[in-house]
Structure 1
Amino acid sequence: MTTTTDEEMTTESGLELPAEESFADAVQRVVRRVDIILLLFPAAVLLVIGLFPSEIRRQLAFSYADPSVLAAFTSNFTHANSVHLLRNLTAYLVVVPTAYLLSVLADRRQLFYTVFVVVFVTFPFVLSGLNLVVPREALSLGASGLTLAFVGYLPVAVAQYVRRRFSIDNFVRRNIAAGLFFVGLSVVIPLAVAVVQPGLTIVLTFVAFLAVVGYGVTLRRSGVDRSTLRGPPPGFVEFGVWSIVVIIAVLITAFPADPLSDAGLVNTYTHFLGYALGFLSSYLVVLFFFDSE
């Protein structure tokens, strides 16, 4: 059996932005201690469950041959071994705080916690259930699918951050969110194909490069240029770049060329589902509930 694993200025859109506030001051102003505790709570749960004996952790895993509702949830917080746990914990501690900071700096704390609750309450059942579409004798465990859901939220969070901090309108914001998601897909698809068709990877990588260039041209035509990036004080642009690097880096590591690891077979199907559903759900929430703000 295998295992898968301030001073303010008013913009044209009516938003008030801290004009002279430094990045460090902005972070200090918006970050709350209770937020830090809430962000670290899932990580603490992962660590505690990681201390359980391997027999108990195996019982918490989700069996495709004998599925249960409880295991559909608990498997997302259980790991095969310490290396598996460390990798997923590191990814979580990079991705989720980045998504949080983007959100609160964009005045979207409520949006972040909506995503946060949905991912940890609903996604374990959704991801486990969708894995039953592919019948096989295997166990599934690991938090990577949940972390990839937050990676899917990152394009939406970046777009909200840019709109708030760089004075762009809703139309451009939607272009940024959708564009970043598809840039992520252009990274994922060649990596996924490389496992079964290595020769096709070169062609798809070239297509991905063209897609990224085309995305940059589209943003330029939408009015996003160097002058747009000169608005906020130092630190804001750099953090936006960091967030995009996080998206690309995590997606690359989530779709390895060799999916077989010490923890078992990397479940790239769950990774893709997490990324796609994380983006789609958060994008629709913004579209229907936050678009007019």
Structure 2
Amino acid sequence: MTASSNTRSEVAAGRDADGVGVRGELVAGVRLVDLLALAAVPVVLGAVFALPEPTRRSLAFAYAEPTVLTAFTAHYVHLEAGHLVGNVVGYGLLAGVGYALAVLAGYRRFFMIAFTTFLAAFPVALSALNLAVPRNAIGFGFSGVNMALFGLLPLLLGVYARERFFPGASIRSLPAVFFPLVGWMALLALPVSPGALDGPGIAGIATAVAGLVLGLLYASSTGIRIRRAIRSGARAAVSNPGEGDLFAIGVALVVGYPIVGFPGDPTGTGSVVNLYVHLLGFCLAFIGPFALLAAGVFEE
């Protein structure tokens, strides 16, 4: 699919207009229909939470008695206010920053199609893949979809950096970020081993190191010079404060959000964080859209 030519031309026009900064470009590229779609998600989540608890529980996904309907609805169900608030805040950060990056990079259409797919298709897919781990429990909550939005964020940072800082850079280098991120999640989430009670277990450390090495090897295979790229990126971000600020926020979110999504102790009051579905959401949302980007489907 081709990125919207209107969006790209408006972004270019915004860059050339005297006195129009990043905020002006963003305002020019935003569409009201997009904002309504983005705002509809917390409204729906709140409306579902307002239902009686027995009704909400009936909409959760029972692994022992799965249905197609509950495979979808479970991802919009929350049983506690704290769970709902946490997911809404995470959604606001991921969707808001992601949308801003997409608009300014000229990839608004890419974002909105991915966003719609995550809302409509990912709930059923994630629930179905959860059946690979048999258990007598129920699944619910929007965090799997949030992790899909998180999986899209490195791709949006990549196209944003290419459009704003590094014209001509290859999209194919983005898996160099994917592998270290998987390693970072493993370091956060894998259980402590008996011999390392005060820190991450061997499995987490090994996976993190493997992810970092794979990322470096992939970057090297695509011709990226890591230190040179970091220095150039830092200079470009500092010399373009508005553009650089948004990029820095996106990078901070990419590094920081896994701490929320992959807690070291996933158990809570009467519930357990589904780390498996979190990882699935991230991986599927990165791999599928990346394949389309690398194939040039969203290029003019």
The runs of 5 or more residues in structure 2 that have no matched partner are 1-11, 195-199
Q: Paired residue for 2:7?
A: none
Unaligned segments of structure 1, at least 5 residues:
1-14
Deviation at 1:168, TM superposition (A): 2.8
| Cα offsets for 1:169-205 (capped at 9, x unmatched) | 242x332x22222232121011122356643278449
Q: Give matches, 1:103-252, under 5 Å.
A: 103-171=102-170, 173-175=171-173, 177-195=174-192, 198-200=200-202, 203-204=205-206, 207=209, 214=216, 218-220=225-227, 225=232, 229=236, 233-252=240-259
Question: C-alpha displacement at 1:218, in angstroms?
Answer: 3.3
Q: 1:144 to 1:237 in 2, by over 3 A?
A: same
The higher relative CO (CA closer than 8 Å, separation ≥ 6) is in 1
**Do 1:166 and 1:232's aligned partners in 2 also have CA atoms closer than 8 Å?**
no
1:229-274 CA-to-partner distances (Å, cap 9, x unmatched) read 1697321112111101112221111111110112510000000000
Contact 1:191 1:201 in 2 (8 A): no
1:227 is displaced (CA, Å) by 7.8
Quick one: distance in 2 between partners of 1:285 and 1:127? 20
Q: TM-score, normalised by structure 2?
A: 0.83
Q: Distance in 2 between matches of 1:283 and 1:111?
A: 11
Cα pair 1:170 1:291 within 8 Å, conserved: no
Instruction: State the TM-score, normalizing by the size of structure 1.
Output: 0.85
- Structure 1's 16 and 243: CA in aligned 2 closer, same or farther, altered over 3 A? same
Q: 1:17 to 1:219 in 2, by over 3 A?
A: farther
- 2:258 and 2:24 mapped to 1: Cα distance? 31
Partners of 1:71 and 1:147 in 2: how far apart?
A: 18
- CA contact under 8 A between 2:180 and 2:211: conserved in structure 1? no
SS of structure 2 residue aligned to 1:194: coil
The total of aligned residue pairs comes to 277
Distance (Å, rounded) in 2 between the aligned partners of 1:162 and 1:70? 40
Q: Deviations over 1:85-131 (max 9, x none)?
A: 11111110110111111111111111011101111111011100000
The letter of the residue matching 1:162 is: A
Preserved CA contact (<8 Å) 1:102 1:158:
yes
d(CA) in 2 for partners of 1:60, 1:196: 37
State the partner residue of 1:83. 82
- What residue identity is the alignment partner of 1:193? L
**Equivalent position amino acid for 1:55 in 2:** P
AA in 2 matched with 1:182: F
Superposed CA RMSD in Å reads: 2.8
1:290 Cα deviation after fit: 3.4
Q: Is 1:51 equivalent to 2:50 in the alignment?
A: yes
Q: Partner of 1:18: helix, strand, or coil?
A: helix
Q: Does 1:70 align with 2:69?
A: yes
The answer as to whether partners of 1:127 and 1:145 remain within 8 angstroms in 2 is: yes
Q: Is it true that 1:273 corresponds to 2:275 in the alignment?
A: no
State the partner residue of 1:12: none
Distance 2:207 2:104 in 1: 34
